[in-house]
Amino acid sequence: MKHPLYQFMYCPECGSNHFIINNEKSKRCEACGFVYYFNPSAATVALIFNEKEELLVCRRAKDPAKGTLDLPGGFIDSFETGEEGVAREVLEETGLTVIETRYLFSLPNLYMYSGFEVHTLDLFYACKIDGNKEPVAQDDAQELFYVPLHQIDPSLFGLASIRKALTEFIKEI
């Protein structure tokens, strides 16, 4: 697959087609001098455990990786913190209210969206939720269920960063 910089053919500043590779992470316009730096999009992932120490898992309702397992999360909106983004995504996908977040780690990922390879930086959070509600699958989640950690098979998860995170997370326990 080609580097995403190859998909940008015209300068976003002046519209010139003299928009050339500047280095491995940027393009430069020969006409106006504008330099565009290609940076990853920020995304969040929630690790939510119930009182039995089972992890909340969802089945993806949409591509990419439709039908595979996943964890609640998604892209961070503009002017939103990682903590706000993970809480919003959990609410949108599960109906659950996050009452506390704890940042764990980050991993780079590639996410195919509408034929475009999006580079992401996935921020993983341990999330505590309001325990008075049951999760309800909605938005990007087709199905939600809890799985004991010792029964999790990372190979069933459709996104590379989730597989890697779960593999490492399970090793640490």
From first to last of its 173 residues, what are the pLDDT tens digits of the chain? 566 777 789 999 999 999 999 998 999 999 999 999 989 999 999 999 999 999 999 999 998 999 999 999 999 999 999 999 999 999 999 999 999 999 999 999 988 877 778 889 999 999 999 988 899 999 989 999 999 999 999 999 999 999 999 999 888 87
- Residue 154 shares a structural domain with residue 81: yes
CATH label of the domain that carries residue 146: 3.90.79.10
- Residue 72 shares a structural domain with residue 88: yes
What domain range is 13 assigned to? Answer: 4-37
Q: Are 32 and 11 in contact (CB under 8 A)?
A: yes
- Residue 82 shares a structural domain with residue 26: no
Q: How many CB atoms lie within 10 A of CB 149?
A: 13
Distance CA 76, CA 26 (A): 23
Omega before 4 within 30 of 0, i.e. cis: no
